[in-house]
């Protein structure tokens, strides 16, 4: 047995922290040098803009945070000089690179790169490759964060109340209403919890099979925290202490036509209730107003849908008329109301999960709570669905 | 100790024990107390690793190799018997050997490592070979039987949970002879276990094994300069680092834990990241095109796996190893990412032609 443990991997990873620190230090110099460069060139008007740009570039470099990216950023300076529009930025960067300290740093980087060029690249990809057990990739999530923030604040204009009901640590099961052909409600709820919950908790949410395994959408959703809806996954996520959002209406919730919007559908067979009872996890009802307006569903085409692996083919004002562009949601305003945890759950033993009557009663109770919160959310949102109030 | 892996291993071992006093005495004492372990398929990757580990283990008196060829891992304890599991009448020969060597544990590892065009041969080896081995074990009962299998018996399916436990139904991979033979083997082993309550039967379902030295269809797929993947799909994959896989097999031989166990290293990696970590370029191909082309490529012997395996590039087949941790004491030392990086390191060295075959 060749005892060749992780030599290659570890050896390759070793130089990385040092290199990263230097890569970070380098743009910091750029930031300091930048205003001087602008002043020296005597471009008084352009100076603030240039400063802003250089700050951008300075912030981007640590975000990339690996020697390879820093290297490519430096080497791209020369061709940029030729382009007149980029001249000012290039001048600044050139100045920063030309400064003796920067040169020293660049040399250091070069040495390290030369010694482990390939492994540098690999460890950079290693950062990209790391996903948690359920497929959440922090790197992908961070990259999409600006888009999520924009969707949250500008597009869906999400407002949320009652987040304090979600515990700061330990597992919790959020039971939500469901709507919209694509699971924007789960994504926006997760973004709300990540942005506004005092503990900045990371929420995982369950998504129906068809959305999860749709090409492109499914794998993207998985990288930012969605998990395929099934009891095994829910059990494991909760026992690992995650906050988990479930949408017990499932496909019935998504498949409401426009005239039935926000009419709460049946809550399945109470799998979520059994789960909460078995694991002794608090059940927190959530009402989400907004998701049903993202895709006003006019008609459901059942023909051919099986062969596409979809429950139905939606017909909305924009889809399939505009093709893939029709998949863009309408900019409806979101209002999320998180309610207090369902009372009396902690008195019940895990054995109650096998009592059909108890499960049925609890299921009805949580459904009523969600219905009430949904009405609250709709009222709080006001009558303007798409327009700002 | 020069007589390595010869049929006359018995006399060879005796000679070895008499020529050095200290070591010889120890070996002699060991011969009485230690266990005798038989290994079929010792020339497979897992077989080689197991023989090497058993050679190092002082608690093992004798390693009995039953295969069509000897294994390079053979040491002084190893006795090699040329046994072709596909031959008629091989069953009585195996039971004779088991009896003569006083075999206590049989590790049955004679399975195809990769899908093959020679499906008839693979079927003879796996299904019929297992039938022969199990029949021999009934004639001359062994205390313990360890059988290797694959997590593909669960199959990549769109409705798999993220972590499949051993309780889940084995649905296999539709259209793959490679997997259906494994399913048949498992069914036979299950029947054997229920019919012989006296013996401890352990089945290990390995995730795809990858590492610096292993050669299988996934390693070959990842060795391509451009690795085809399915466009729009990026399922999580799980690997068993070769060291973890070998350690799990050794644990199964050492500890008496009857039942089925999933074996894999820590963590998961998306397919796209797997390809990148291996230093390759992924070529995403639309599913329909991929499926058709892979059929053609398979017939033309240009691809590593038949079209049925496209499912593995679209859907999850990731297992839960907590059962093996609890009952077998299996603690993976590596992660899926380590397995790819180690593979990549060795691949780079191989490609630089510094190491030749066998590396």
The interface predicted TM-score of the complex, written ipTM, equals 0.82
CB contact under 8 A, A232 and B165: yes
Inter-chain residue contact A236 with B163, CB threshold 8 Å = yes
CB A192 within 8 A of CB A152: yes
* CB-CB neighbours of B170 under 10 Å: 19
Flag if B162 and A122 touch (Cβ within 8 Å).
Answer: no
Chain A residues with CB under 8 Å of B279 CB are 118, 121-122
Mutate to test the interface with B, among A232, A234, A306 (most CBs of B within 10 A): A232
* Sign of the CA dihedral with B90 first, then B91, B95, and B101 last: positive
Q: What residues pair up with B319 in beta bridges, in sequence order? A: B164
Render pLDDT for A129-185 as a digit per residue (tens, 0 to 9).
Answer: 689 999 999 999 999 999 999 999 999 999 999 999 999 999 999 999 998 888 899
Task: Say whether A222 and B344 touch across the interface (CB within 8 A).
Answer: no
Torsion of CA A345, A346, A347, A351, to 10 degrees: 80
Q: What is the pLDDT of residue A384?
A: 82
Tell me the shortest Cα–Cα distance from A252 to chain B, in angstroms: 19
- Domains in chain A, ordered, with CATH? 12-129 (no CATH), 138-381 (3.40.1130)
Is A125 an 8 Å CB contact of chain B? yes
Of B213, B270, B274, the CB nearest to A2: B213
pLDDT at residue A2, rounded to an integer: 39
B253, two tokens: 């031989």
Average per-residue pLDDT for chain A: 74
Give yes or no for residue A256 having a pLDDT over 80: yes
Mean pLDDT of A282-295: 92
Identify the residue among B229, B234, B317 best suited for mutation to test binding to A, counting A beta carbons within 10 A and taking the highest: B234
Q: Would you state the pLDDT for residue A303?
A: 80
Question: Do A241 and A169 touch, CB atoms closer than 8 A?
Answer: yes
* Contacts with A, B 291-330, CB within 8 Å: 314-315
Using CB atoms, which residue from A118, A131, A134 is nearest to B269? A131
Residue from A135, A216, A218, A235 whose CB has the most chain B CBs within 10 Å, to mutate: A135
Does A116 contact B at CB distance below 8 Å?
no
The shortest C-alpha distance from B345 to chain A (Å) reads 6
Task: Note the pLDDT of residue B73.
Answer: 86
Average pLDDT over residues B146-154: 96
Distance, in Å, from the CA atom of B267 to the CA atom of A131, rounded to the nearest integer, reads 8
Beta-carbon neighbour count of residue A138 at 10 Å?
Answer: 15
On whether any CB of chain A is under 8 Å from the CB of B10, the answer is: no
Q: Is the pLDDT of residue B296 over 80?
A: yes
CA distance B334 to chain A (A): 8
Best A1, A130, A218 residue to mutate vs chain B (most B CBs within 10 Å): A1
Dump pLDDT digits (tens) for A63-97.
434 444 444 444 443 443 334 444 454 444 444 44
Residue B351 pLDDT exceeds 50? yes
Q: pLDDT (tens digit, 9 = 90+) per residue, B163-211?
A: 999 999 999 999 999 999 999 999 999 999 999 988 999 999 999 999 9
A164 to A189, A284, A302, B223: CA distances (angstroms): 14, 11, 42, 52
**Whole-number Å distance between alpha carbons of B247 and A368:** 53
The answer to whether the CB atoms of A9 and B159 lie below 8 A apart is no
Which of residues 319 through 378 in chain A touch B, CB cutoff 8 A? Answer: none
């Amino acid at each position: 047995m060749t005892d060749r443990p992780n030599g290659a991997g570890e050896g390759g990873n070793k130089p990385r922290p040092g290199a990263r620190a230097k890569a970070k230090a380098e743009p910091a110099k750029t930031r300091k040098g930048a205003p001087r460069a602008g002043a020296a060139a005597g471009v008084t008007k352009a100076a603030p803009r240039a400063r802003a740009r250089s700050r951008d570039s300075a912030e981007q470099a640590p975000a990339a945070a690996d020697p390879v990216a820093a290297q490519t950023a430096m080497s791209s300076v020369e061709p940029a000089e030729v382009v007149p529009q980029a001249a000012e930025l290039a001048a600044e960067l050139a100045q920063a690179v030309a400064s003796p300290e920067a040169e020293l740093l660049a040399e250091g980087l070069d040495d390290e790169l030369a010694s482990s060029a390939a492994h540098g690249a690999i460890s950079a990809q290693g950062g990209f490759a790391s996903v948690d057990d359920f497929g959440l990739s922090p790197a992908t999530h961070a990259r999409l964060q600006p888009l999520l923030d924009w969707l949250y604040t500008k597009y869906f204009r999400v407002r949320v109340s009652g987040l304090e009901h979600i515990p700061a640590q330990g597992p919790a099961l959020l039971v939500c209403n469901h709507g919209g052909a694509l699971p924007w409600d789960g994504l926006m709820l997760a973004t709300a919890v990540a942005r506004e919950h005092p503990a900045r908790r990371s929420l995982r949410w369950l998504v129906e099979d068809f959305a999860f395994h749709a090409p492109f959408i499914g794998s993207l959703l998985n990288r930012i925290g969605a998990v395929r809806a099934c009891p095994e996954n829910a059990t494991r996520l909760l026992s690992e202490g995650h906050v988990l959002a479930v949408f017990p209406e499932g496909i019935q919730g998504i498949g409401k036509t426009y005239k039935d919007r926000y009419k709460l559908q049946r809550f399945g067979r109470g799998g979520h209730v059994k789960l909460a009872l078995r694991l002794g996890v608090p059940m927190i009802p959530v009402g989400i107003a907004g998701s049903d307006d993202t895709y006003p569903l006019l008609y459901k085409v059942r023909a051919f849908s099986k062969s596409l692996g979809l429950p139905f083919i939606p017909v909305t004002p924009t889809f399939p008329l505009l093709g893939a562009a029709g998949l863009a949601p309408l900019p409806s305003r979101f209002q999320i109301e998180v309610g207090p945890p369902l009372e009396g759950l902690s008195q019940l033993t895990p054995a109650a999960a096998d009592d059909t009557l108890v499960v049925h009663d609890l299921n009805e109770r949580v459904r009523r709570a969600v219905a009430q919160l949904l009405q609250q959310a709709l009222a709080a949102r006001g009558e303007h669905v798409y327009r700002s109030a | 100790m020069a007589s390595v892996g010869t049929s006359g291993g018995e006399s060879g071992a005796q000679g070895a024990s008499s020529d050095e006093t200290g070591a010889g005495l120890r070996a002699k004492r060991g011969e009485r107390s230690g266990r005798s372990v038989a290994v079929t398929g010792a020339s497979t990757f897992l077989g080689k690793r197991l023989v090497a580990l058993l050679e190092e283990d002082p608690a093992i008196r004798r390693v009995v190799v039953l295969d069509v060829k000897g294994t390079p891992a053979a040491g002084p304890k190893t006795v090699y018997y040329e046994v072709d599991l596909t031959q008629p009448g091989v069953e009585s020969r195996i039971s004779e050997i088991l009896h003569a060597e006083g075999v206590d544990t049989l590790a049955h590892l004679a399975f195809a490592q990769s899908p093959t065009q020679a499906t008839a041969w693979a079927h003879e080896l796996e299904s019929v070979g297992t039938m022969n081995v199990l029949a021999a074990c009934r004639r001359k009962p062994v205390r313990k039987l360890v059988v290797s299998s694959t997590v593909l018996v669960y199959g990549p399916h769109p409705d798999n949970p993220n972590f499949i436990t051993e309780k889940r139904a084995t649905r296999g991979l539709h259209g793959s002879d490679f997997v259906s033979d494994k399913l048949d083997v498992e069914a036979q082993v299950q029947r054997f276990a229920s019919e012989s309550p006296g013996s401890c039967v352990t089945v290990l379902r390995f995730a795809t094994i990858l590492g610096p030295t292993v050669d299988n269809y996934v390693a070959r797929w990842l060795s391509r300069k451009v690795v085809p993947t399915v466009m729009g799909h990026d399922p999580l994959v799980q690997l068993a680092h070769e060291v973890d896989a070998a350690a799990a097999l050794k644990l199964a031989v050492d500890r008496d834990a009857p039942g089925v166990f999933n074996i894999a290293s820590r963590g998961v990696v998306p397919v796209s990241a797997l390809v990148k970590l291996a230093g390759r370029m992924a070529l995403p191909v639309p599913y329909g095109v991929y499926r058709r082309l892979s059929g053609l490529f398979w017939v033309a012997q240009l691809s590593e796996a038949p079209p049925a395996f496209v499912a593995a590039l679209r859907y999850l087949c990731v297992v839960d190893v907590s059962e093996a941790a609890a009952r077998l004491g299996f603690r993976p030392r590596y992660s899926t990412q380590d397995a790819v990086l180690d593979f990549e390191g060795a691949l780079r060295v191989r490609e630089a032609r510094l190491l030749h075959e066998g590396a």
